[in-house]
Structure 1
C-alpha cells in the first residue's frame, strides 16, 4: 500500500499513471498480492518485469511503473528509509520505482483519492460485519494491534522487526486511559488471537477480534472503524489507523519500529504523521 501510494503521489505530480508490476510475487511466499481486494485500479503491466536480481528481499519490494505514455525507462532505487526530497524531481517518460516508501510525505496531497481506493472491493463477510456492528455500538473504541507471525517464526523478519512487549502496550493503554478516560472499549487485533486472548486477559472491556482468515484484509478496515488506535510496528495497523479519517482520533505508535540494531542505522521519523503520538 505504501508503494502504491507513492506511485499515486508521483503520478499526480507528473500527470502520469500508475502501472503495477507484480512479477516479484512469483518468489514472495509470505503474503499474496491483495490490492485486488481493494478499489485500486488493476492496471497490471503486461511487459517485461524488472531485470534486477531478486536478492536483498526484493520480493518484498513491489516494483511500480509510472508512465506518461512512452518509451524511455529509468529505475529509481529508494536511497534510504526516510523521505527522499528528490523524489518529486524524478524525470523520464517511464519511471520504475523500487523500495518501501514508508512515509506519508510520498503521497501528501493524494489523501482523498487514496481513501477512496483503499476501501474493500466487496462487502464484509459475516464475521467482519458482526464485528463492525459491535465496534459501531460503543461510544469510544480503540483498536489495538499485536503483530507476531513472521516476526516470531521467520529469522529474517525477526532480525529487522522486534516483537513489541508488554511495556509498550501497557504504557499505551495507560496513556489512552489518561487521554480518554476509563470508559473505552479495546478491540484487539492479531495474527495470533489466542496469544492475545491470554496476554490481555486482565484488560477490562477488551474484545479479541476473530474474523475469517481467508479474508485477512478485513481486519484493517475494522481497525479503521475504531475511534482511536494503538498500532504495532507493522504497516498493517499503520494503514488501519491512517484510514480512519477523523481529525479527533488519537493514534499511539511505537518508536521501536525496528530492532535496536537496525533502528540505530535507520531514520524512521518520516514514517509517522505529525499528529501521532510516538512512544519511545
Structure 2
C-alpha cells in the first residue's frame, strides 16, 4: 500500500497523486491537516475518486521523503507499505496514461463547459493562465510572470488567434491583454478553470502547478505549450528542468526587483508586528 501525504493546493496535490499512481493503484491519501485542505477535498469525487482519504499519517510505516526538487527513483517494492512525502514536481514521475485516466473529467463538469464554452469544441483556442492573487503577496517565493512574458508568449501563437483567459485577477487581464479574439472566464470554480485549459489546443501557462496540469491534461497531439523560465522566487535556487517536458517552449523572463522588494518588506513587517 502506498500512502501519499498531501500538502499545499490542488496543483501540488495532483503531482503528489500522480507520483503515487505511478508506483501502485493500491494507495491511500493522507491529509493530516484536513481542515486546511477542504477546498482540495471538494474534488475528491473527481480527481481522487476510488481512494480512501485519511486525516492522519499511519504510524509504523516506512517514510520516503523527496530528497530534492528534481526526479529521483522512489525505492518501492510492489506489495510493501510505504508513505511518500514531497512535491514530486517532475513529469518523469508521471505515468501519463494512468494520470489521464485518474484525472479524467466528470460528466457534470464536461456538460457545464460544453454548454457555456462551446467554442472550445469547434475552434482552435489557446488558453492563457494568469496567476496573480496570492503571488503578489509572496513574490520572494513565487514571482508573477509579468506582462512582458505574456506578450511574448502571445506572439509565439499569433496575436490574432483565438484565446481564452483564466485567472484569479481577471480585471488585470482585461486591462492588459488587448486581444482581437478573446474570452475572459469569470465566476467559475478551479475545476472548471483547469479543464477549460485542458480542452484548448495550445496553452500559455504561468509558473503555477495548477496551470501546468491544465496543459498536461491537454491531449491534443499537436499542442504548443509555453511556460516562463522563472518558476520560483529570487531566494530559491531550484533546478526546474524536470518540470519542462521536451516539447514545451520556455520563454525567458526576469524578476521585477521592485515588486520583489515590496513583497519582502511586507513579509518582514508582518513578522515584526504580528
Deviations 1:209-250 (A, max 9, x none): 1243xx321111111111101000011111111111112000
Return the alpha-carbon distance in structure 2 between the equivalents of residues 90 and 2 of structure 1. 18
Aligned to 1:165: 146
Q: Is the CA contact (8 Å cut-off) linking 1:253 and 1:276 kept in structure 2?
A: yes
Aligned to 1:222: 196
Residues 267 and 74 (structure 1), Cα distance of their counterparts in 2 relative to 1, 3 Å cut: same
TM-score of the pair, normalised by structure 2: 0.79
Partner SS, residue 156 of structure 2: helix
Q: Does 1:261 align with 2:235?
A: yes
Shift of 1:116: 1.8
Return the alpha-carbon distance in structure 2 between the equivalents of residues 185 and 220 of structure 1. 18
Aligned to 1:137: 122
Q: Does 1:83 align with 2:68?
A: no
Partner SS, residue 126 of structure 2: strand
Q: Is the CA contact (8 Å cut-off) linking 2:32 and 2:54 kept in structure 1?
A: no
Return the alpha-carbon distance in structure 2 between the equivalents of residues 81 and 94 of structure 1. 23
Shift of 1:136: 1.9
Q: Does 1:276 align with 2:264?
A: no
Aligned to 1:101: 88
Shift of 1:183: 4.6
Return the alpha-carbon distance in structure 2 between the equivalents of residues 3 and 249 of structure 1. 25
Residues 256 and 47 (structure 1), Cα distance of their counterparts in 2 relative to 1, 3 Å cut: closer
Aligned to 1:204: 180
Q: Is the CA contact (8 Å cut-off) linking 1:20 and 1:42 kept in structure 2?
A: no
Q: How many aligned positions are there?
A: 238
Tell me the C-alpha RMSD between the 2 structures. 2.3
Return the alpha-carbon distance in structure 2 between the equivalents of residues 258 and 39 of structure 1. 26
Q: Does 1:231 align with 2:239?
A: no
User: What is the aligned counterpart of 1:147 among 112, 131, 148?
Assistant: 131
Shift of 1:46: 4.7
Aligned to 1:40: 48
Aligned to 2:100: 115
Aligned to 1:5: 18
User: What is the aligned counterpart of 2:167 among 190, 212, 224?
Assistant: 190
Partner SS, residue 96 of structure 1: strand
TM-score of the pair, normalised by structure 1: 0.77
Residues 152 and 258 (structure 1), Cα distance of their counterparts in 2 relative to 1, 3 Å cut: same
Aligned to 2:268: none
Gaps of 5+ in 2: 1-13, 253-274
Residues 48 and 24 (structure 1), Cα distance of their counterparts in 2 relative to 1, 3 Å cut: closer
